[in-house]
Amino acid sequence: MSNTTQPVRRAALALGTCLVVAVSGAAVTPAAHASAPDSAQRASVQRLQAHLKPSGDANGSGEAHFTLNKARHRVCANVEWKNIAMPNAAHIHRKSDGGIVVDLTGSVTGGSHCATGVSKKLIGRILGHPGRYYFNVHNGPHPAGAIQGTLRH
């Protein structure tokens, strides 16, 4: 599959369910708020992106869009790529030492698009300084990375 356009991968992020609460005899109906997360959950969900450029494959390119949810300890990714061999791994790395901080391999291999169990502290660090991190898509011909891009708001 070398040098072919790969399908766009999409991840859905479920933000949770609403509760029906009766206050002073007035009820909030599920229909009115069935898809509206509470304000704490909304505040803890933020988005980042990365424009992916060649890092190993001179013809490769792509885009990555991230949803980071502190309340649920989740980082999710939707990734598009072009002109690279089929990816076999993807990660968010620290720029300072290249260390992997979030494994998002499923976002490029057809598995889960979300990493769970990510600490609130790490999510806060990434959101506070996204330029200190990059997203790298790996494949067989380029195990160190075919395309990558710095995270940004």
Range of the domain at 56: 44-150
pTM for this model (two decimals)? 0.75
Q: How confident is the model at residue 55 (pLDDT cuts 50, 70, 90)?
A: very high
| 16, pLDDT greater than 50 | no
Query: Is the model's pLDDT at 5 over the cut of 70?
Result: no
Number of domains, the chain: 1
Within-domain flag for 12:
no
Residue 44, pLDDT score: 78
Q: Residue 25's pLDDT is what? A: 36
In this structure, is residue 50 part of a structural domain?
yes
For residue 97, tell me if it sits in a domain. Answer: yes
Asked if residue 93 belongs to a domain, the reply is yes
HEC sequence for the chain: CCCECCCCCCCCCCCCCCCCCEECCEECCHHHHCCCCCHHHHHHEEEEEEEEEECCCCCCEEEEEEEEECCCCEEEEEEEEECECCEEEEEEEECCCCCEEEECCHHHHCCCCEEECCCHHHHHHHHHCHHHEEEEEEECCCCCCCEEEECEC
% of the chain with per-residue pLDDT over 70: 72
Q: What is the pLDDT of residues 58-78, one digit of tens each?
A: 999 999 999 999 999 999 999
Per residue in 102-135, pLDDT tens?
999 999 999 999 999 999 999 999 999 999 999 9
